[in-house]
Amino acid sequence: MQVRFPEDERFPTWKITFLEYLVAAAFIGLLFGYWRLQIGQHQELLEQAEHNRIRDLPVIAPRGRILDRYGRVLVDNFPSFTILLNRDNASRLTDAHIDEIAEALDLDPKDIKALVKHSAKLPRFQPVVLKQSASLRDVAFIDAHRSEFPELDIIQSQQRFYPKHGVAAAVLGYVGEVSQADIAKPGSPYRPGDLIGKFGIEKEYNSILRGRDGMRRVVVNSRGQEVGTLGTIDAVPGHDLRLTLDLNLQLAAEAALGDQPGAVVALDPRTGGVLAMVSHPTFDPNIFTHPISVKTWKELTTDPMHPLMNKAIQAQLAPGSMFKIITGTAALETNTITPQFTIDCRGQVTIYGHTFHDWHTHGTVDFHKAIVVSCDDYFYTVGKLLGIQKIDYFARHLGLGHPTGIDLPGEDSGLIPSPAWVRRVFHRQWYPGETISVAIGQGAIQVTPLQIAYTIGGIASGGIFARPHLAFRKELEALGADPPSDTTIRFPLHQSTVDAVTSGMWGVVNQPGGTGVGARCPGLDIAGKTGTAQVVSQSLEDSAHRARFRDNAWFVGYSPSPDPKIVVSVLVMRGRESSVAAPIAGDVIKAYYQEMGKKSSPAPLVSQKKGGKTRLDTLATVQ
């Protein structure tokens, strides 16, 4: 029944044997291949598997808030989202894919490529920040496109918020993404995309405000979805920082200056605490929490009024007549003159063969009147008697020509011209006539609004100069920070000198013919001095007769007089007339007393010229 095949029709059995050996050989080969991976490269490949599944997600530490002296919030945070980029599969990040990401998240592909390049040295499984303050649209998009963009992650974070927008912006500063240079510094704790203070207090006290980011080690699947947590390192929030600023006073100062370009500084000369600091035009620091557009950045940086400059510490201008206080103090302290020294002002005076003009003809002028009416001729004469060396010496010791040391980045030093300075810079001799200009605060001399407040406050306090500051020294110490050295400089002045000078400044505001009557506030004891920093020379002004319109108007005032609790300097750049500055200072001082809740009863209108007041006792109550 069965069809049988003869034996010889079979193929030789060696062929089967051959196939058997082939099978055995193939499996031995494969076994070798698996041995190499599973035994030989086990550790290495296990590590790669770990990197595949483990992702270290940063837990962003909220930045400390910035508060005013009464704890009112100046800078805050609110919850937002940060988009992270995972580079553990770098080859996935082809140019084409980066373009897709850029389009989806509204970013510049060039920035992403730079980020990938700059973060190449970081551990692969550590994601980097791709976009701060992501919009809800971005978050929704990523959630919906997990499989297309497995390398994107969303984490909760805090966005910096400046609730008062432009108020005190130049003081508070702003934050931005850390620069490549900062990351490259040895020991730098920063990763690309981290936030860092870029300006103002945010920069100065970045290390206090910053906090320490935590980390969450999570298990992810191949689509980048979290499936578990392996461990957590909690974030350490940054410390809140209390400033000496008084928000209400700040608001009053901002309002008083209005939209005029310039600066206002209010100091407590007893402590050096800055009560208000205004620089106009201002900017809204909130714009820096999002990637700033090129257009906005250009507008900010090319604005002729430099909104990104803190004019309170960076505007260096001639102090004008305010400098007469320094010249006068020097003359009295050196006994070059007495307060009874009198000249006959005829509107001009010729010294060293050069005619110097006064802005007015004042007649018979003694020291007091010279300050009240701001007589140029008087101080031309005093300047000649003093000589540049003494003016220079006193200006420097009264706080000018060098930074005050305030805890803000970028403070300028101002300039006190001297024979040594012209020799060093211009390689020439000092012209004696220059001394005469410097004596009334014109010429190459430059001061900042902060310096003039510091100097005048110090003189009115009898020669005690408390270093201006914004953060409380004791609180910095409590935070473990290294506070700037507490340098209260003592340069004691004779009581008679202080009396003569302060009484003069009281007259400026309160006496008929005083140049600073605009600062007068009924019921308040205010003293001060005006100044006009000429932008063009006197002779040019005579011919053009409109240069005055381009002058910078200054006023420095304090209250009460003497022994002030507050000193306010005001600079109005390109003010229409020099008198615009004084009322601003008056407004600020008025607001100060209102803010005090009239607790400290205002000093009587008529200042106590003498009497048993011990100035140093008052100063001993330093904060």
Partner 1 sequence: MRNSLNFHDFDWILFGLVLAIATIGVVEIYSTTAQTALAGQFRKQIYWVFLGCALTMIMSQIDYHLILAHIHWLYLLSVFVLIAVLGAGPRVAGTHRWLQIAGFTLQVSELVKLVIILAVAAMFAKRRNKAVTWGELAKLGLLAAVPGILVAVEPDLGTALTYLPIIAAGAFLAGIRRRQIMVLGLIGLLALPLGWFLLRPYQRERLESFIHPKQNTQGSSYQVTQTKIAIGSGGLWGQGLGKGSQSQLGFIPVSHADAIFASFAEERGFIGTLAVFLLYVILLLRLLEGARAAADRAGSFLLIGFAAVFFFQVAVNIGMMIGWFPITGIPLPLMSEGGSSMLFIFLGLGLVMSVKMQRFVN
Rule CB under 8 A: which residues touch partner 1? 1-5, 9-11, 13, 15-16, 19-20, 23-24, 26-27, 30-31, 33-35, 37-39, 41-42, 44-46, 48-50, 52-53, 89, 91-92, 94, 219-223, 227
Is the CB of 12 or the CB of 186 nearer to partner 1?
12
Give DSSP secondary structure letters for 64-88. Answer: PPEE-TTS-EEEEEEEEEEEEE--T
Write down the H helix ranges in 221-359: 247-257, 294-302, 311-314, 324-333
How many CB atoms lie under 10 A from the CB of residue 253? 28
* Least distance from partner 1 to the Cβ atom of residue 43, Å: 9
Is the CB of 85 or the CB of 438 nearer to partner 1?
85
Is the CB of 46 or the CB of 305 nearer to partner 1?
46
* Least distance from partner 1 to the Cβ atom of residue 120, Å: 16
* Least distance from partner 1 to the Cβ atom of residue 15, Å: 6
Is the CB of 17 or the CB of 537 nearer to partner 1?
17
Taking Cα atoms as reference points, which of 421, 545, 405, 398 lies closest to residue 469? 405
User: What residues have CB less than 8 Å from 512, skipping those under 6 apart?
Assistant: none
Is the CB of 23 or the CB of 114 nearer to partner 1?
23
What sign does the dihedral 85-91-92-95 (CA atoms) show? positive
Is the CB of 89 or the CB of 316 nearer to partner 1?
89
| 580 within 8 A of 589, measured Cβ to Cβ | no
Which burial class, exposed, middle or buried, applies to 607 when counting CB atoms under 10 A from its CB (0-12, 13-18, 19+)?
buried
How many CB atoms lie under 10 A from the CB of residue 163? 12
Q: How far apart are CA 613 and CA 461, in angstroms?
A: 12
* Least distance from partner 1 to the Cβ atom of residue 54, Å: 9
Is the CB of 148 or the CB of 475 nearer to partner 1?
148
**DSSP classification of residue 517:** G
* Least distance from partner 1 to the Cβ atom of residue 5, Å: 4
Q: How far apart are CA 7 and CA 571, in angstroms?
A: 120
Q: Which two tokens stand for residue 434?
A: 């220059």
* Least distance from partner 1 to the Cβ atom of residue 28, Å: 9
Phi, psi (rounded to 5 degrees) for 115? -60, -45
* Least distance from partner 1 to the Cβ atom of residue 71, Å: 49
Cα end-to-end distance, the chain, whole Å: 122
Is the CB of 7 or the CB of 259 nearer to partner 1?
7
Q: How far apart are CA 194 and CA 179, in angstroms?
A: 9
* Least distance from partner 1 to the Cβ atom of residue 26, Å: 5
Is the CB of 228 or the CB of 258 nearer to partner 1?
228
Write down the H helix ranges in 357-398: 367-372, 376-386, 388-397
* Least distance from partner 1 to the Cβ atom of residue 1, Å: 7
CA atoms within 13 A on the CB side of 424: 5
| 326 within 8 A of 494, measured Cβ to Cβ | no
Is the CB of 230 or the CB of 305 nearer to partner 1?
230
User: One-letter amino acid identity for 380?
Assistant: Y
CA gyration radius, the chain: 35
Q: How far apart are CA 623 and CA 471, in angstroms?
A: 13
Q: How far apart are CA 62 and CA 213, in angstroms?
A: 8
Q: How far apart are CA 223 and CA 39, in angstroms?
A: 29
* Least distance from partner 1 to the Cβ atom of residue 41, Å: 5
Phi, psi (rounded to 5 degrees) for 456? -70, -40
* Least distance from partner 1 to the Cβ atom of residue 102, Å: 18
* Least distance from partner 1 to the Cβ atom of residue 125, Å: 13
Is the CB of 134 or the CB of 220 nearer to partner 1?
220
Q: Which two tokens stand for residue 471?
A: 């953060």
Pairing of strands 54-59, 214-220: antiparallel
